[in-house]
């Protein structure tokens, strides 16, 4: 079954996530399409304008995989991730909520013939989740839904006409208050590994911070290893998430490695590029830094005294 990739675009100047999208192609091909649109000048989308602001500085966005989903689930997944990243404060350039709308827009619940679930099941999902005894993935498997669909249901994004417990928090956040059917009653879940949706433990978070601070590894590599997204790893290593857990805090960018170039290597990089037949990317791989770093060196934006 062909998978659809949900991806993010990051501004290399400040490491901020600026766009969430989907593609059935390789991420490198999708990034090329984005840059072609930005260079074409015929699209005045907010995202294209942002990419053009990078192009004039000789930069381009960083692309990373957020999630791979089945073709039937990409709309829900894209909508979920756009809503989630906006919830935690990302300044996205997306003009819409994602998913390109719904075929049966305007219809509610079981009156929508494309609905996969009945009203009673929706209420049951929310009530079970409110007890704290079930995780989203367990409810998704039990009712034959995607986890993104369950997440939308318990947050009240879908089936808004039903009276039920609604959860308005972002997954994995600290001190979560989850309302029960009695709106005056609340139950607060702990932070970190005590949260029922947590994929990590305190020990794993310490391992992530130790590894990132001492080894040549990128955030997306750690994300793939631990089964979470790159933004989650970024918040962990910068100390913005799991703040109660110890370990070294690192503020370097996600693509920067420990092996930074020295003055002698800067001279060699410029000499090699002046000779020709070598790209920023090739030099970046050789010296263990990002191609944008090489570009800044070549243009004299950094290491100006060399």
Q: Are residues 122 and 54 in the same domain?
A: no
Q: Is residue 208 part of a domain?
A: no
Q: Is residue 268 part of a domain?
A: yes
For the segment 196-255, what is each residue's pLDDT rounded down to a tens digit? 556 788 899 999 998 887 766 777 778 888 888 877 888 888 888 888 888 888 765 544
What gap in Å lies between CA 248 and CA 154, rounded to an integer? 35
For the segment 284-296, what is each residue's pLDDT rounded down to a tens digit? 777 777 788 888 8
CATH number at residue 23: 3.40.1440
What gap in Å lies between CA 229 and CA 5, rounded to an integer? 13
pLDDT at residue 9 in the model: 93
Q: Is residue 233 part of a domain?
A: no
What gap in Å lies between CA 7 and CA 78, rounded to an integer? 9
Q: Is residue 182 part of a domain?
A: yes
Residues of the chain with pLDDT under 50: 101-108, 110-114, 170-190, 254-259
Q: Are residues 148 and 75 in the same domain?
A: no
Q: Is residue 288 part of a domain?
A: yes
pLDDT at residue 184 in the model: 35
Q: Are residues 68 and 116 in the same domain?
A: no
Number of domains in the chain: 3
Q: Cα 272 from chain centroid?
A: 36
Domain assignment of residue 274, given as a range: 263-298
Q: Are residues 147 and 82 in the same domain?
A: no
> Both tokens of residue 106?
């305007």
> Both tokens of residue 259?
């092996």
pLDDT at residue 142 in the model: 78
Q: Are residues 123 and 171 in the same domain?
A: yes
Is the backbone of residue 279 left (phi > 0), alpha (psi -120 to 50) or beta?
A: beta
Q: Are residues 77 and 131 in the same domain?
A: no
What gap in Å lies between CA 32 and CA 295, rounded to an integer? 18
What gap in Å lies between CA 297 and CA 240, rounded to an integer? 30
Q: Is residue 240 part of a domain?
A: no
Asked which of 194, 212, 236 is the last residue of a domain, the reply is 194
């Amino acid at each position: 079954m062909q998978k659809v990739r949900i991806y993010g675009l990051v501004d290399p100047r400040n490491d901020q996530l600026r766009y969430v999208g989907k593609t059935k192609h390789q991420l490198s091909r999708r990034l090329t399409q984005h840059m072609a649109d930005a260079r074409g000048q015929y699209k005045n989308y907010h995202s294209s304008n942002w990419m053009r602001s990078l192009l004039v500085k000789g930069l381009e966005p960083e692309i990373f995989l957020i999630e791979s989903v089945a073709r039937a689930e990409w709309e829900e997944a894209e909508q979920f991730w756009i809503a989630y990243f906006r919830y935690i404060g990302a300044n996205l350039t997306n003009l819409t909520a994602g998913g390109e709308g719904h075929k049966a827009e305007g219809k509610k619940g079981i009156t929508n013939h494309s609905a996969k679930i009945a009203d009673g099941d929706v209420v049951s999902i929310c009530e079970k989740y409110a007890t704290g005894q079930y995780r989203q993935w367990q409810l998704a498997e039990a009712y034959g839904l995607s986890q993104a669909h369950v997440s939308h249901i318990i947050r009240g994004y879908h089936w808004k006409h039903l009276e039920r417990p609604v959860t308005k928090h972002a997954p994995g956040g600290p001190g979560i208050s989850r309302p029960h059917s009695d709106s005056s009653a609340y139950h607060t879940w702990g932070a970190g590994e005590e949260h029922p949706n947590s994929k990590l433990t305190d020990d794993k978070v310490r391992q992530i911070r130790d590894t990132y601070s001492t080894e040549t590894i990128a955030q997306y590599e750690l994300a793939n290893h631990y089964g979470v997204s790159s933004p989650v790893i970024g918040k962990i290593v910068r100390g913005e998430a799991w703040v109660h857990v110890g370990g070294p805090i690192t503020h370097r960018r996600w693509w920067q490695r420990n092996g930074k170039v020295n003055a002698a290597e800067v001279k060699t990089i410029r000499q090699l590029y002046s000779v020709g037949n070598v790209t920023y990317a090739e030099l970046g791989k050789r010296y263990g830094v990002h191609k944008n770093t090489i570009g800044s060196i070549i243009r004299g934006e950094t290491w100006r005294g060399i």
